[in-house]
A and B are shown apart, each in its own frame.
Chain A
Amino acid sequence: MLLANLPALQVVIPLVSAPVCLLLRNPRHAWAWSTLVSWLVLAMAIMLAQRVYVMGTLSYAIGAWATPWGIEYRIDMAGALMILVIGTIGALVMPYAWRSIQHELHNKHTGLFYTCYLLCLTGLLGIVVTGDAFNLFVFLEISSLSSYVLISLGSKRRALTAAFQYLVMGTIGATFILIGIGLLYMMTGTLNMLDISQRLPEVADTRTIRVAFAFVTVGVSIKLALFPLHIWLPNAYTFAPSVVSAFIAATATKAGVYVLLRFFFTVFGIRFSFAAMHVGEILMLLAVAAILIASLVAIFQNNVKRMLAYSSVAQIGYIILGISLATTDGVTAGMLHLFNHALIKCALFLSLGCIFLRLGSVELQDMHGLARQMPWTMAAFVAGGLSLVGLPLTAGFISKWYLVSALLMDGYWPLAVLILVSSLLALIYIWRVVEAAFFHVPGTAMHRVKEAPASMLIPTWLLIGANLYVGINASLITDIAQQGAAALIGQALR
């Protein structure tokens, strides 16, 4: 009974738990409650993923209303991978959040923070499990609206303008997606994604559907920060509280990528998206621009959080590049990097959070000589950075390997070279931090800086450990990614 309702519970439990945080006046209670919920969510995510792995795609009718009239929750391997990413990151950042949030937020905001955090988690999970286009929009907005609040809670006043910028861009994106879904509904008379995909071929050759496709593509591209629609992202990541940067960087843009995959492969179908609308070529161009330009811009940032934000834009480029190939290998590479980048970026942002806690700044010039004072934190940063560069025995290497071999299989060898060159750009911007922390003479106030508390170091190092584990034994995760890609492409071909 409980197991059968798992797809619904996965979303409902964090949703109904969220307001409780607001009622718990004591910050410690609010934190304990949301930690409990987030770990419960992770447990459910693992069980759900396991069921999908064993039983194949799960379909669940909300309120037992038969599809396509009722809302259907539908989880295939690609969705299972996403739930795992969101659940894992969501649970790992919570023990970390206690000290970090206590330091960065006013006590009266703490309850609000945990409420919005759980709502954001709800939205992200909902996006993944739902099989209904309009329901997907609703969840996308739940996650977006709550993340606007989360970002605005940042300790600097510029967090407000950053959140507002994100709000404006995000709302434009959401509106575009809604227009697209509306047009689809107009032409097909249904909102169930599978149902739309079955009815679409009859009307595919109309201007309305093409416009719908364009609206959805642009709207989702804003949400996932595809170059050049990424301008909201650097500010949002820079000024958000450390925990929020880590959580959103690892999950929100990834959920956006998932939405894109759903629409391209499940709803519109690979033939329409890639053969008729040539979205592959456009995405490839934008992805390459993202990889090169954002990596170069990252090199010149002095705020390390902003540097990592630009690096995220570049890394999203990698993911999109894999998807733009529209082959099983390419989509596998994209999904692998989606997973691995979540592990890498979350670890890096968490180690920056440790630095911010002790130093009160993440500017490069304030970090001079930091490695002596915070060896464990800096070691985590270096390890995460090496994974970002993609050196062997790290998660980053696995996805880079798949991406390069997928590109070579299709004969795009100049792009393969470009990927490898850009990993060197990543080395340059990571090494600027390493040189500052390890080589420069520490300032006068540096001797007072202590190592971060264990409650923050342990989650950071767990993620680093996950990076190394995936680097040594990636068979499970590549298997899931391959099945996910096969599910997406197979569905599209059917």
Chain B
Amino acid sequence: MSPEITVLACVALPLLAPALITALHRWPNPREAVTLLVSGCLFLLVTSLLGDVLGGIRPALDLAEPLPGLKIAFEVEPLGLLFALLASFLWVVTSVYSIGYMRSHHEWRQTSYYSYFAVALGSTMGIAFAGNLFTLFIFYELLTLSTYPLVTHAGDDAAREGGRMYLGYLLGTSVILLLLALVWTWSLTGTLDFRAGGILEGVVTPGIAGILLALFIFGIGKAAVMPFHLWLPAAMVAPTPVSALLHAVAVVKAGVFTLLKVAIYIFGLDFLAEIPATQWLLYVAAATILVAALVALRQDNLKLRLAWSTISQLSYIVLCTLLITPLGIVGGSLHIVMHAFAKITLFFCAGAILVATHKTRISELNGIGRRMPWTMAAFTVGALSMIGVPPTGGFISKWYILLGAIDAQQMFAVGVIIVSTLLNAAYFLPIVYAAFFRPQESNPDVRQKDTDGEAPLMMLLAITVTALGTMVLFFFPDLPLELALQLAGEIE
């Protein structure tokens, strides 16, 4: 198969899978087999592109031309491949987890759940491989729409309210700010292609470009930069696998990924450095990191604490982008991967606790480590990675982020990262401590059977894979690092 066809298949396969999933809606086992098969195939397809891209080849193809000069086109570059690899690998793991979760939690409408999940992943692939900003925007919106039914899966009033926030924030920012930025860029330059070195230099003054940059940063609502961050806690009404893969990996990372692409290929780092507004936007990102971490400290709902932590961590990557050094870009790209593995582990654990004990609040988790040692061990690994303690992947990315900040001589950013690391420890370590060292509260009303045992095997399997992955990435960060360095090489 030629690489171009592979690229097309990567996007088309998950988008077409719902047809088969819906056709098999009467037979749950074959239906879930389709999801597993498609996700497995997708991962293999994405992996098969690796050799070409590392060899310097950029597979590209044009699909359609909705407007003169604006094409739906795909092109694979290192960052996109890194994102696609990450999302497709974690989709396989999440699919295994989903089966365990959805069945033991007796969720309804499972056919539509798996269908929309596949569409969401197809959109993510479209974002990762988009050859220009226009294509990226199309799949960005498709991702919002396809995840809406997943967020509102429960179908009750809380889901409807959460869905409103989700759609309102994401479509609101993208339709008003991002689209405006797109049309503006288009009317200034006559192109929306991704080009090394950017397309805006020499077309606008740095002052105007600052406004445009602000439109992009706030318009990409999926990056959850304050004040457009509230959709992420609202999205926590979704089933846990959705929160895990989509709201810790695919959707939010699509946001920061878009931001990185815009910074590198639309503005270009050289031009970005001339824009005075970057310093102010850096402060906004820094404020998001700290404020979100402080809010996370006060959350008692485990999923909400994880969501606020995600907001904080996403702005690490925004901050990296605004450092405007190649090392910062490397750090940001690595953090996409490292944070994804750690955060998905944490969400998986939250779901496992929910399924096994029906508990959602952190204050109820005293002594849970004795009942669910496997799950809580994985939780600890995830928490350590979030803080950036070896031997976890989080250490690697934090290392490069700090290198980037020092390289850019932004001591302010260095300070923010150090303070936020302390805050990370402050909101994650008490959970670990309570789980292992506090005595379990005995409740005489609950029968022995309900207070015993781990989560289902399928879920534990997924948790183990991501927790191990978090540690493996510390010892062997070669692949993401190589892709990130190649990206940085393209910039220089």
Q: Interface residues, chain A, CB within 8 Å of chain B?
A: 386, 389-393, 398, 400-401, 404-405, 408-409, 416-417, 420-421, 423-424, 427, 431, 435, 438-439, 471-475, 478
B180 contacts across to A, CB distance below 8 A = 404, 416-417, 420
CA distance A213 to B67 in the complex (A): 36
Q: Which 3 interchain pairs have the tightest Cβ spacing?
A: A392-B138, A420-B176, A404-B183
Q: Is A439's CB under 8 angstroms from B141's CB? A: no
Smallest Cβ-Cβ distance to A397: which chain B residue: B66
A435 contacts across to B, CB distance below 8 A = 160, 164
CA distance A421 to B152 in the complex (A): 25
Is the C-beta of B443 less than 8 angstroms from some C-beta in chain A?
A: no
CA distance A438 to B171 in the complex (A): 19
CA distance A400 to B179 in the complex (A): 10
Q: Is B171's CB under 8 angstroms from A475's CB? A: no
> Would you give 17 A-B contacts (Cβ < 8 Å), ordered by A?
A389-B171, A391-B145, A391-B175, A392-B138, A392-B142, A393-B142, A401-B67, A401-B183, A404-B183, A409-B187, A420-B176, A423-B175, A427-B175, A439-B155, A471-B66, A475-B66, A478-B67
CA distance A475 to B65 in the complex (A): 8
Q: Interface residues, chain B, CB within 8 Å of chain A?
A: 64-68, 72, 137-138, 141-142, 145, 152, 155, 159-160, 164, 167, 171-172, 175-176, 179-180, 183-184, 186-187
Smallest Cβ-Cβ distance to B176: which chain A residue: A420
| Nearest CB in chain A: distance from B445 CB, A | 32
B137 contacts across to A, CB distance below 8 A = 392
A420 contacts across to B, CB distance below 8 A = 175-176, 179-180
Q: Is A404's CB under 8 angstroms from B179's CB? A: yes
CA distance A391 to B66 in the complex (A): 13
B183 contacts across to A, CB distance below 8 A = 401, 404-405, 408, 416
Q: Is B141's CB under 8 angstroms from A392's CB? A: yes
Question: Which of B72, B145, B160 touches A439 (beta carbons < 8 Å)?
Answer: B160
Question: Which of B155, B160, B187 touches A408 (beta carbons < 8 Å)?
Answer: B187
Q: A391-B141, A391-B171, A392-B142 are in contact. List 7 more A-B contacts (CB 8 A).
A: A391-B145, A408-B187, A416-B180, A421-B176, A424-B175, A439-B159, A472-B66
Q: Is B176's CB under 8 angstroms from A473's CB? A: no
B159 contacts across to A, CB distance below 8 A = 439
CA distance A438 to B179 in the complex (A): 28
A475 contacts across to B, CB distance below 8 A = 65-68
Q: Is A389's CB under 8 angstroms from B175's CB? A: yes
Q: Is A405's CB under 8 angstroms from B186's CB? A: yes
Q: Is B64's CB under 8 angstroms from A472's CB? A: yes
Smallest Cβ-Cβ distance to A393: which chain B residue: B138
CA distance A316 to B186 in the complex (A): 26
Smallest Cβ-Cβ distance to A479: which chain B residue: B68
A431 contacts across to B, CB distance below 8 A = 164, 167
Q: Is A424's CB under 8 angstroms from B172's CB? A: yes
Q: Is A390's CB under 8 angstroms from B160's CB? A: no
CA distance A474 to B64 in the complex (A): 10
A398 contacts across to B, CB distance below 8 A = 66-67
B155 contacts across to A, CB distance below 8 A = 438-439
Q: Is B175's CB under 8 angstroms from A390's CB? A: yes
| Nearest CB in chain A: distance from B149 CB, A | 9
CA distance A427 to B169 in the complex (A): 12
A404 contacts across to B, CB distance below 8 A = 179-180, 183
Q: Is A473's CB under 8 angstroms from B64's CB? A: yes
CA distance A471 to B66 in the complex (A): 6
Smallest Cβ-Cβ distance to B157: which chain A residue: A439
| Nearest CB in chain B: distance from A53 CB, A | 17
Smallest Cβ-Cβ distance to B211: which chain A residue: A413
CA distance A169 to B389 in the complex (A): 75
Q: Is A424's CB under 8 angstroms from B67's CB? A: no
Residue of B137, B164, B167, B179 most packed against chain A (CB within 10 A): B179
CA distance A400 to B159 in the complex (A): 31
CA distance A398 to B183 in the complex (A): 12
| Nearest CB in chain B: distance from A483 CB, A | 13
B186 contacts across to A, CB distance below 8 A = 405
CA distance A421 to B171 in the complex (A): 11
Q: Is B187's CB under 8 angstroms from A386's CB? A: no
CA distance A248 to B486 in the complex (A): 59
CA distance A408 to B65 in the complex (A): 22
CA distance A474 to B187 in the complex (A): 18
A405 contacts across to B, CB distance below 8 A = 183, 186-187
Q: Is B160's CB under 8 angstroms from A417's CB? A: no
Q: Is A424's CB under 8 angstroms from B176's CB? A: yes
B176 contacts across to A, CB distance below 8 A = 417, 420-421, 424
CA distance A420 to B160 in the complex (A): 24
Residue of B138, B145, B164 most packed against chain A (CB within 10 A): B138
A389 contacts across to B, CB distance below 8 A = 171, 175
